[in-house]
Amino acid sequence: MKKIIFLSVLLNLFQFISVKSQNLVPNPSFEFFTQCPTSDGQTDFAFPWYDPTGATSDYFNACANPSYLGVPNNSGFNCYQPAKTGSAYCGFFSINSGLPNYREYIQVELTDSLIYNVCYYIEFYLSLANTSSYGTNNIGCYISNTAVTTAQPNILNYTPQILAVGNPVINDTVNWVKVSGYYTAFGGEKYITIGNFNTNANTNVAVNDTVTFYPANDTSSYYYVDDVTLIDCSQIGINEIEGNCNFILFPNPASGNLTISFAYNNTKAIVNITDITGKIVLQSEIHNPKSEIDLTGFADGMYFVQIKTGDFTETKKLIVEK
């Protein structure tokens, strides 16, 4: 009987993947499961997700009975949080004061490998458990060719390619907060891992919106995660993507404001916009990896947007239509 149920779950999962084929993340909102959660550390019930370090990241589902790991009530955590989508999500500790530098992660193998020099858009949503006294920054997504692991419960010593813009402390216990960014593939990447990849000493926390360094003798920070997406940038309505995606312009064509988004680790750049004659019509320095440029006063036509940082110089075409 268990084999029949498991095969049914797999069939439903693969049918869902075919419908959502543009998203390379399988079971992106954790709706499909092999069993209802009954205890801590059962992330692998949300097949094919799992905990890569053997710690105890958790799976929550409305089917849980009793509601220790239920949705929206999870009595085991004395918390209440509706799912962003459906009736399930996962959860992990970003910091745990009882165990210095203890970390929990969730990891999954993508449905296909990433393609060399192709731009991908990644997003996921977080909500701080309402019993957590602190929210933290540094919760990111690491993209890799192979599965990554370490001895429980150590920190995965990798640099995530995706962090929230500005890497703020996320301390919203009511809403789901989007973390997103762009990534140019080296080719062959097949796994994503979500969690805090930094030490306590290098992790900021917020209590009542006051950011401090993590106090080692205080309480922990626990997050729910839902709706994980990884798609080709061409599928998100961006009309002008040339070469790699060190930066992206949208909307394009544009009228009022133009958003410039570039890799999160490039937090300072010089922007030069020239017209078709080569005349510079705007020059600005931006300090945010997702910034807006006011196009008021620009005449309709074609322009060239050049981004300069210490790492690269790249130019893209921009169409202004009012």
CATH number of the domain encompassing residue 131: 2.60.120.260
Any residues with CB less than 8 A from the CB of 243 and at least 6 apart, and which? Answer: 117, 314
State the CB neighbour count (10 A cutoff) for residue 109: 17
Whether pLDDT at 243 is above 60 = no
**Residue after which a domain boundary falls, among 201, 235, 269:** 235
**Residue after which a domain boundary falls, among 203, 235, 267:** 235
Residues 226 and 243 in one domain: no
Indicate the number of domains in the chain.
2
Residues 63 and 90 in one domain: yes
Check: CB of residue 61 under 8 Å from CB of residue 36: yes
204, two tokens: 């900021």
Cis peptide before 48 (omega within 30 of 0): yes
Whether pLDDT at 246 is above 70 = no
Sequence letter at residue 199: T
Residues 263 and 153 in one domain: no
Check: CB of residue 228 under 8 Å from CB of residue 105: no
Residues 260 and 223 in one domain: no
**285-295 CB burial, b ≥16 within 10 A, e <16:** ebeebbbebeb
Cα-atom radius of gyration of the chain, to the nearest Å? Answer: 21
Whether pLDDT at 196 is above 90 = yes
Check: CB of residue 71 under 8 Å from CB of residue 82: yes
Q: What would the pLDDT profile of 21-60 be if each residue is shown by its tens digit?
A: 489 999 999 999 999 999 999 999 999 999 999 889 999 9
DSSP state of 105: -
**Residue in this structure with the two tokens 């745990």, named with its chain if needed:** 96
Phi–psi pair at 18, nearest 5 degrees: -65, -35
What range defines the domain where residue 301 resides? 239-320
Whether pLDDT at 11 is above 60 = no
Residues 293 and 245 in one domain: yes
**Residue after which a domain boundary falls, among 235, 270, 295:** 235
Residues 206 and 253 in one domain: no
Whether pLDDT at 187 is above 80 = yes
Phi–psi pair at 135, nearest 5 degrees: -105, 160
pLDDT at 43: 97
Residues 148 and 15 in one domain: yes
Q: How many angstroms separate the CA atoms of 5 and 35, rounded?
A: 9
Residues 315 and 214 in one domain: no
163, two tokens: 């962090």
CATH number of the domain encompassing residue 309: 2.60.40.3080
Number of residues in the chain:
322
Residues 135 and 252 in one domain: no
Q: How many angstroms separate the CA atoms of 50 and 43, rounded?
A: 5
Q: What angle do CA 139, 142, 148 make, to 5 degrees?
A: 115
203, two tokens: 């992790």
Q: How many angstroms separate the CA atoms of 296 and 306, rounded?
A: 19
Residues 273 and 228 in one domain: no
Q: What percent of the chain lies above the pLDDT cut of 90?
A: 39
pLDDT at 266: 52
pLDDT at 214: 43
Answering whether pTM is above 0.75, one says no
